[in-house]
Amino acid sequence: MAQNVYDRPDFFKRYSQFPRSIHGLAGAPEWPEIRSMLPKLAGLRVADLGCGYGWFCRWARENGAASVLGLDLSEKMLARARAMTSDDGVTYSIADLEHLNIPIASFDLVYSSLAFHYVEDAARLFASIYKSLVPGGHLVFTTEHPIFMASLNPGWRTADDGHRLWPVDHYFVEGERKTDWLTSGVIKYHRTMATTLTSLQKAGFRIEQVKEFCPTTDQVAADPLLQEEIDRPTFLLIAAQK
Amino acid sequence: MAQNVYDRPDFFKRYSQFPRSIHGLAGAPEWPEIRSMLPKLAGLRVADLGCGYGWFCRWARENGAASVLGLDLSEKMLARARAMTSDDGVTYSIADLEHLNIPIASFDLVYSSLAFHYVEDAARLFASIYKSLVPGGHLVFTTEHPIFMASLNPGWRTADDGHRLWPVDHYFVEGERKTDWLTSGVIKYHRTMATTLTSLQKAGFRIEQVKEFCPTTDQVAADPLLQEEIDRPTFLLIAAQK
């Protein structure tokens, strides 16, 4: 079973104070880019893997989705998602993406935001998603970028000239990465760029779009902390089709 | 016009002492992987962009290619390629990949090894290659990896724990990178992973395979210097189809 840090009180409390937890999609700087990679939602049956508070589920329904299934490992996240949702077209259910077992040929779009890097077995995950989609169905997701993930000791360093640099090491040593992010010992799984793309193709997907989140000038002006995102990519954004 | 460092005497002399210059394809550790990405060569009309000494051109003919056109910016490289080739099926010609103008629908395979990072305008390059291929034709190439290229000041650093790390900075600042490699002021052009893949797709290509060169255990045993390739990728390998 995938590690569930979201139900730890300390993690949940800190996570709930994040801009993306308070402001939803508008609080996530990569949202405009991932939104631009989505198909038109009118009439689509949608699944959201790692739905959290359900921001995307509700947005999808407001934008015409026929139905949305939100899946998450965290009871606390789902409880808050349910409390924030008054729409019979949205259903929430607990699920472990590591052992995902969703109905066959039931969805037109599978979406996921920043959840797949918690999953160890990407081949199994992509195969399950592929089966759950109808022919022509879409998978659109964000995940942590391998440049962000690779190092055993991530974090900005200062070069001799004073500029910050991001370390890359152990790039080809895939697997578990333990970091302290909001709580201690958060377990994520590093995969190379080639492994992610090849795993999608082996599952049967055609790669439609590969993007890396880079903030716009306006975003950096509004939130100067985003300046460091110019120096190294944090988020990988992928659209694939069955 | 793209910078031509290969014709500088100091560069040429040093380059000619490289394993891949002396031993050809067998001296390039990424060769087995890029070879596995090639289509069957029997009967194919092939172009090699940045052919250097013509090692690949001759190999392609020995493996059944109908004809091979080797293009390079360096007169010195082409002179040596011609001196090493006795095969009317191989033709060499001088060409600047920055302003490539090759015949339309003339090739079944365009190959390139470690030349595209010298080209500033990837969109123009990929569009020219696309036009030069027959429908169903293949583009298979290696280029320096964006992780290897991004930093304004590349080179291994030593972390506090003694492990080496590779710096990433200015990842989203694409364009010129000046490094001292065999000679001073070698100009290369950094592009993000997303830009390379998106440019190929915009030119009309379908992405078939994306790989990153990682040496095998046997390769590292034979050449311990390759161990550092585990820590960060140097070469990006791509196969695309028209």
pTM of the prediction? 0.95
pLDDT of res. A68: 98
Q: How confident is the model at residue B157 (pLDDT cuts 50, 70, 90)?
A: very high
> For residue B216, what is the nearest residue in chain A, using CA coordinates?
A172
The CA distance from B150 to B191, in Å, is 8
Cβ separation A210–B197 shorter than 8 A: yes
Instruction: Please compute the mean of the pLDDT values over residues B77-106 and round it to a whole number.
Output: 94
Q: How confident is the model at residue A219 (pLDDT cuts 50, 70, 90)?
A: very high
Report chain A's mean pLDDT, rounded to a whole number. Answer: 94
Instruction: Please compute the mean of the pLDDT values over residues B169-186 and round it to a whole number.
Output: 90
pLDDT of res. B12: 83
Q: Which of A99-103, B2-6, B135-139 has the highest mean pLDDT?
A: B135-139
Q: How confident is the model at residue A193 (pLDDT cuts 50, 70, 90)?
A: very high
Among candidates A153, A159, A210 on the partner chain, residue whose Cβ is nearest the Cβ of B167: A159
Q: How confident is the model at residue B22 (pLDDT cuts 50, 70, 90)?
A: confident
How many angstroms separate the CA of residue A82 from the nearest CA in chain B?
A: 36
Q: What are the tens digits of pLDDT across the range A203-212?
A: 999 999 999 9
Q: How confident is the model at residue B9 (pLDDT cuts 50, 70, 90)?
A: confident
pLDDT of res. B11: 83
Q: How confident is the model at residue B161 (pLDDT cuts 50, 70, 90)?
A: confident
To test the contact with chain B by mutation, choose from A142, A209, A231 the residue with the greatest count of B C-beta atoms within 10 A, namely A231
Residue B239 reports pLDDT greater than 80? yes
The DSSP element (H or E) to which B4 belongs, if any, is: none
Instruction: Please compute the mean of the pLDDT values over residues B106-116 and round it to a whole number.
Output: 97
Chain B residues with CB-CB distance to A171 below 8 A: 147, 212, 230-233
How many angstroms separate the CA of residue A152 from the nearest CA in chain B?
A: 10
Residue A116 reports pLDDT greater than 80? yes
Report chain B's mean pLDDT, rounded to a whole number. Answer: 94
Q: Which two structure tokens, joined as six digits, stand for A188?
A: 């994520």
Does residue B81 contact residue B52 with C-beta atoms inside 8 Å? yes
Among candidates A159, A169, A229 on the partner chain, residue whose Cβ is nearest the Cβ of B163: A169
Cβ separation B233–A170 shorter than 8 A: no
Residue A1 reports pLDDT greater than 70? no
pLDDT of res. A8: 85
Q: How confident is the model at residue B1 (pLDDT cuts 50, 70, 90)?
A: low
Residue A221 reports pLDDT greater than 70? yes
Share of chain B above pLDDT 90, in %: 81
Q: How confident is the model at residue A216 (pLDDT cuts 50, 70, 90)?
A: very high
Residue A55 reports pLDDT greater than 90? yes
How many angstroms separate the CA of residue A44 from the nearest CA in chain B?
A: 26
What count of CB pairs under 8 Å joins A to B?
114
What is the full DSSP assignment across chain A? Answer: -----TTSHHHHHHHTTSHHHHSGGGG-TTHHHHHHTSPP-TT-EEEEET-TTSHHHHHHHHTT-SEEEEEES-HHHHHHHHHH---TTEEEEE--GGG----TT-EEEEEEES-GGG-S-HHHHHHHHHHHEEEEEEEEEEEE-HHHH--SS-S-EE-TTS-EEEEE--TT--EEEEE-SSSS-EEEEE--HHHHHHHHHHHTPEEEEEEE----HHHHHH-GGGGGGGTS--EEEEEEE-
